[in-house]
Chains A and B, each alone.
Chain A
């Protein structure tokens, strides 16, 4: 059972490392999504098995990954939602908020790149 668990952690870690590499090479909403998904899966595995497998440094790195990428994801999702739901008569009011969200998205993406480049999953 421990062998199975270790193998799972190793595989999930490898998936995250690959996703991070792709994101740093080509930052985009899609590559960011892959980083976030793979980090959540690894986090879930580490939390589920924490009673018998202790990987505190890896768990911290995975949590840091989520924290570093939350703002970019949030800005992108909220901006896309606003573009879709804005009432035609209120487009002028939405324009400033949309500009802010696009700017936040760009900045957050750059910050995510910088922060993720420094995270170690070893």
Chain B
């Protein structure tokens, strides 16, 4: 999934640059959060990548605005949970058919990871909305 272009024409300060970048990346995350409804692996993967982009932007700009650091850590945890689910999705595609018990274990663990990620996202929605509204 290609990242959305961040409109930066006319930007003159690093703080404004931070606002535009974080606003755009937060918007991407918000748009792709519908992935939690169907819990399909491709949609969850896209959402994870969008979270990763937002997290890197938050980390980078936390030198300018320390209040961003907490959000970046929360997004790192969310991204980790989705990464664990993704790894299980990949292994499930190559698992020999005779390994039914392992398959069930992996499916269960995958569900646990997705549920944990969904709960983290619920808690992060509001801070993400604030980032989108440039309240930092």
Q: Is A26 interfacial (CB-CB < 8 Å)?
A: no
Contact flags A70-110 to B (C-beta < 8 A → 1, else 0): 00001001100110011101100110110000000000000
| Count of A-B residue pairs with CB < 8 Å | 84
Give the number of residues in A that approach B within 8 Å (Cβ atoms): 28
Q: Is B106 interfacial (CB-CB < 8 Å)?
A: yes
Q: Is A30 interfacial (CB-CB < 8 Å)?
A: no
With CB as the reference atom, state the residue of chain B lying closest to A12: B60
Return B23 CB to nearest CB of chain A, in Å.
11
Contacts of A85 in B (CB 8 A): 91, 102, 105-106, 109
Query: Of the 9-residue stretches B6-14, B39-47, B127-135, which lies at the interface with chain A?
Result: B6-14
Q: Is B32 interfacial (CB-CB < 8 Å)?
A: no
Contact call A5/B102, Cβ cutoff below 8 A: no
Q: Is B95 interfacial (CB-CB < 8 Å)?
A: yes
Q: How far is the CA of A40 from the CA of B16 in the complex (A)?
A: 23
Contact call B7/A78, Cβ cutoff below 8 A: no
With CB as the reference atom, state the residue of chain B lying closest to A101: B94
Contact flags A17-52 to B (C-beta < 8 A → 1, else 0): 000000000000000000000001100110111111
Q: Chain B: interface secondary structure? A: helix
Contact call A1/B11, Cβ cutoff below 8 A: yes
Contact call A5/B17, Cβ cutoff below 8 A: yes
Among A5, A44, A93, A96, max chain B CB count under 10 A is at A44
Q: Is A8 interfacial (CB-CB < 8 Å)?
A: yes
Could you write out 9 A-B pairs with CB less than 8 Å apart?
Answer: A4-B17, A47-B53, A48-B25, A52-B8, A52-B9, A82-B91, A85-B105, A89-B101, A94-B99
**A interface with B by C-beta (< 8 Å):** 1, 4-5, 8, 40-41, 44-45, 47-52, 74, 77-78, 81-82, 85-87, 89-90, 93-94, 96-97
Knowing that A81-B87, A87-B102, A94-B96 are A-B contacts, what are 12 other residue pairs whose CB atoms are under 8 Å apart, sorted by A's residue number? A40-B56, A44-B60, A48-B6, A52-B11, A81-B88, A81-B91, A82-B102, A85-B91, A85-B102, A85-B106, A90-B101, A94-B102
